[in-house]
């Protein structure tokens, strides 16, 4: 894992533009060809990377919060959705809700999540590297490579598979 994290630290920023260009080209690959490779790369990434040894997303990137998240988490914490929103959530310029600060206030010292069972949908899905819509989100995927070593790893694997297209 250390080797992957070091590779990510050293190269993710430098390769962001190259990765964005690659991701744009990936759009032309037929879904049935791409999806199995994507799933394989995603599985391999999370087999090799332990999120508990990283937590960089929780430390740097506030997740978006849906109304369902708000209701579920506030119920779990035994406070009203209104109280929860006042204490932990802010509205961004687009009117979306997100947690109000980084590192996330629910991140424990050992990198575990205090509300893991009821965590936001965005946290469950991050970094979205095994989703059908992956090839439609070049900009987001490129941005995720500088936050998430697994997202970076997936792109490196795909670049090898497609010989950089
Ligand atoms: S940044 Fe990626 S690898 Fe790190 S904890 Fe988040 S999802 Fe896991
Ligand atoms: S809610 Fe949990 S998983 Fe989501 S950012 Fe906070 S600590 Fe990380």
Domain ranges of the chain: 2-52+127-161, 64-125
User: To test the ligand 2 pocket, which listed residue (54, 63, 65) has its Cβ within 8 A of the most ligand atoms?
Assistant: 63
Confidence of residue 117 (pLDDT cuts 50, 70, 90): very high
For 61-97, write each residue's pLDDT tens digit.
999 999 999 999 999 999 999 999 999 999 988 889 9
The protein residue with its alpha carbon nearest to ligand 1, atom 6, reads 57
For 25-43, write each residue's pLDDT tens digit.
999 999 999 999 999 999 9
Q: What is the pLDDT of residue 144?
A: 97
Task: Please state the atom number of ligand 1 nearest to the C-alpha of residue 147.
Answer: 1
Task: Please state the atom number of ligand 1 nearest to the C-alpha of residue 127.
Answer: 7
**Buried b or exposed e, range 69-80, using 16+ CB within 10 angstroms:** bbebbbeebeee
Find all residues with CB under 8 Å of 27, minimum gap 6, and list them.
135, 136, 138
Query: For the whole model, what pTM was predicted?
Result: 0.94
* Ligand 2 midpoint to CA 42 (Å): 20
Task: Please state the atom number of ligand 1 nearest to the C-alpha of residue 56.
Answer: 1
- Give me 83's structure tokens: 């109280």
* Ligand 1 midpoint to CA 52 (Å): 8
Q: What are the distances in angstroms from CA 78 to CA 27, 72, 74, 126?
A: 44, 10, 6, 26
| Residues flanking ligand 1, CB < 6 Å | 49, 51, 54-57, 126-127, 147-150
> What phi, psi does 13 have (nearest 5°)?
-65, -45
> What phi, psi does 91 have (nearest 5°)?
-95, 130
């Amino acid at each position: 894992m250390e080797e992957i994290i070091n590779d990510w630290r050293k190269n993710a920023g430098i390769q962001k533009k190259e990765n964005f260009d690659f991701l744009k080209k990936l759009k032309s690959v037929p879904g049935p060809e791409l999806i199995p490779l994507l799933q394989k790369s995603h599985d391999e990434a999370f087999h090799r990377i332990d999120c508990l040894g990283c937590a960089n997303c929780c430390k740097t990137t506030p997740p978006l919060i849906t109304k369902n998240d708000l209701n579920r988490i506030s119920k779990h914490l035994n406070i009203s959705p209104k109280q929860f929103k006042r204490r932990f959530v802010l509205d961004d310029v687009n009117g979306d809700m997100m947690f109000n600060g980084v590192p996330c206030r629910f991140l424990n010292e050992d990198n575990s999540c205090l509300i893991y069972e009821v965590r936001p949908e965005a946290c469950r899905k991050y970094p979205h590297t095994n989703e059908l819509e992956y090839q439609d989100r070049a900009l987001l995927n490129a941005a995720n490579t500088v936050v998430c070593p697994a997202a970076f790893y997936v792109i490196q694997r795909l670049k090898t598979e497609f010989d950089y297209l």
